[in-house]
Structure 1
């Protein structure tokens, strides 16, 4: 681990309004962002910083402060009712949430926090005020963007409201630094939101390479052992891991199974590892679709699992699918590859960077089920090609590390601090 200069030992206020990093990813609003926030915070702490994560309390039983690991804590702010609030209801609670954040700082020594790092636009709104009040830089990571999602809307999905678009534009204008996960996301910030490119920084997220790694020994033997342990069937097996919602596209793979059957190809088992998001009926709707197209016997639904167990599910699969309609990064794709499992992903957003087409997996243009069925069938019928992709997947996954991401983020924090100081100095410079 690189040595840490004294001025890098920052106190960071991370803001994550709508979902706690303590929540189980894969259901509700919890997903890759939850993992991103807690993993980045812990990596920053390993390099000497202190990170306090502010999130909205969703249960009266949750302690006000939870120590996650040395140097990292999660503070739950009461803002509105604990239960029953949809993410779309949260803008009305931003005033109460921000007041709770400001009260926390008010109990500290003056100048306690060095930087505010907000995640998602709701947090950016709260972070905007906090950074302004504390006179520290605002660093913002979008994670997803309304204009991008609306441009690639999944069938049956609802467009993001105009209020979110306006809120995102305000945060882009206010932020001292914007963090994108890939060059493609950086371009979207500039082209679609008019961001100042000088303030846009690309910092690829990482993956816990101690947890997500290939198994020891022959990959086929590892796969067989994992399937026995998890109670999964023999034969071709494809895994989808994530929230079950239109944006993530699990319906595309279900219909691809039917296309494979109609083309006379072997139909694999599709394991969907995740919970409903947005609509509580999402799982039943996916089951109904599988029954409608005649592949219900090939669909296995399983609740999301803790991250300590997720790597085994990746190693048990022949292929992992990420058919998202838009994806700023695609953490599942990185984690699966780090386990040595090839990924078949939609050629959208950050997935075009994360998945090395023809080397660690295959990128599929569009969401036509027949095309997806052909790609999956061809790979499942080609064990030598899958073996080659396994090796490439492991190499690709191993290139992402959280310590490297934290080092790069510290550089962003320092530059944002310098930008803010220069701006304040210019504002107070006497005119001739």
Structure 2
């Protein structure tokens, strides 16, 4: 079933800008591309990312690149960077085309640049997990977050946990601005998930980690714990440079991990269907955990650290565990391997949970919200 397409009227495009180079890894990037790009975008928009260094990548239809350098997080350099982004946006965008701003992140340079380039348009801010992480770690980004929250007409949070965390960082935010709209996964994945091949052996539990290998994702403690647990095969789908940085830890612990590469979406969905459980050992809040929902849509049970966001989205449709405690993790993995009917039951519960989050519903909710201000 093809998701509904929102048809734009004159002057009703969204203007949106993700302050990352094209082809960057991460769930926020995938969500951005899913919503705003393609031959039939769910949200018609002028959508921008940064031009990466090196050869120009193949772009999805509807994505424009801005060749602006100097990205940073604070000081005089940050002000110069925002100014350069603003000038690039003013050149690229005709204000009469735009009905509303979709501010990706409350922090980073693209958001203040878009606000300054189009100061008269309604503003909807979308909160992602990295906003809050960087605002906690960088004083100037905390200031940007608070200024964006004040300037926005509405602030979209995907989970209640994200709203709670935002209010801790910006307690003066008008709570009436907060709107909960869950992120979603592609409708085509829900209607046509990959086929799961039949297992010929169940002696080893095939565990998959998929995502970036940054500190807050908790992969180091996953590796340290799995090194003490027999009967487990670990596969990792991650950016190549980040996997290479993990290699010394793998060598020290003696844990062998199969590296799958940084997989494109259809390849990742196929990998989901070829494993027994997805491990999500995140150490801090997750905005939504889209990779978990995509795994569930593919029939892959999810084992997760019960951090804010994940606990809300997954609840009992996944298995919460403690990745910092090898005995606890080993017990829970062994239960998956040996308890009759548990994996099939988790596959069924996971798919039912993922089906609650179609991307078309996310897009329609954002469009409906924008119409309140235009």
Same fold (TM over 0.5): yes
2:32 is the counterpart of 1:68: no
Relative distance call for 1:169 and 1:301 in structure 2 (3 A) is same
Among 325, 330, 339, the residue aligned to 1:382: 339
Aligned residue number for residue 236 of structure 2:
272
In structure 2, the partner of 1:126 is 113
Query: For residues 8 and 239 of structure 2, what CA distance do their matches in structure 1 show?
Result: 44
CA distance in 2, matches of 1:332, 1:379: 20
Partners of 1:237 and 1:16 lie apart in 2 by 35
Q: Do structure 1's residue 302 and structure 2's residue 260 form an aligned pair?
A: yes
Which residue does 2:188 correspond to in 1?
210
Cα 1:344–1:111 change in 2 (3 A) is same
Question: Is structure 2 residue 50 aligned with structure 1 residue 53?
Answer: no
Q: Distance in 2 between matches of 1:53 and 1:46?
A: 11
Q: What whole-Å deviation, never above 9, does each CA across 1:211-269 have from its counterpart, x for those lacking one?
A: 365444xx561x56xx9xxxxx9832100000112111111221221232xxxxx3311
SS in 1 for 2:146: helix
RMSD of the TM alignment (CA)? Answer: 3.0
Partner of 1:423: none
Corresponding residue for 2:139? 162
Alignment of 1:263-342 (within 5 A): 266-275=230-239, 280=241, 282-295=242-255, 297=256, 299-326=257-284, 327-342=286-301
Residue 355 and residue 141 in structure 1: after superposition, are their counterparts in 2 closer, same or farther (change >3 A)?
Answer: same
Larger-gyration structure (1/2): 1
Deviation at 1:43, TM superposition (A): 8.7
One of 157, 177, 188 as aligned partner of 2:154: 177
Q: CA deviation at 1:149?
A: 6.6
Helix, strand or coil: the match of 1:244? coil
Q: Deviations over 1:329-388 (max 9, x none)?
A: 11110100000111011111221122132xx21123573344333322222222411111
CA displacement at 1:406 relative to structure 2: 0.7
In the alignment, what sits opposite 2:36?
41
Q: 1:290 to 1:169 in 2, by over 3 A?
A: same
Q: Provide Cα deviations, 1:254-287, integer angstroms capped at 9, x if missing partner.
A: 1221232xxxxx33111011025xxx5x434433
Cα distance in 1 for partners of 2:146, 2:368 equals 24
Kept in 2: contact 1:345–1:351 (CA 8 A): yes
Mapped to 2, the partners of 1:353 and 1:392 lie a distance apart of 15
Cα distance in 2 between the residues matched to 1:290 and 1:103: 48
Aligned to 1:98: 86
> Are the aligned partners of 2:277 and 2:300 in contact in 1 as well (CA < 8 Å)?
yes
CA distance in 1, matches of 2:355, 2:5: 22
Q: Which runs of 5+ in 1 are unaligned?
A: 24-28, 151-158, 228-232, 261-265, 419-432
> Aligned in 2, Cα 1:236/1:187: closer, same or farther, shift over 3 Å?
same
TM superposition shift of 1:127: 2.2
Give the corresponding residue for 1:247. 216
* Matched residues, number: 365
Alpha-carbon offset, residue 102 of structure 1? 1.0
Select which of 344, 349, 358 maps to 1:401. 358
SS at match of 1:210: helix
Single out whichever of 327-336 and 187-196 deviates more from structure 2. Answer: 187-196
Flag structure 2 segments of 5+ consecutive residues without an equivalent.
Answer: none
Structure-1 separation of matches of 2:169 and 2:39: 30
TM, length-normalised to structure 1: 0.76
Equivalents in 2 of 1:366, 1:193: separation in Å? Answer: 31
Of residues 238, 244, 256, the one that matches 2:225 is: 256
Distance across 1 between alignment mates of 2:151 and 2:48? 20
Per the alignment, do residues 208 and 8 of structure 1 end up closer, same or farther by CA in structure 2, a change over 3 Å counting?
farther
Distance 1:367-1:10 versus aligned 2 partners, 3 A rule: farther
Structure 2 partner of 1:428: none
Q: Is the 8 A contact 2:12 2:97 kept in 1?
A: no
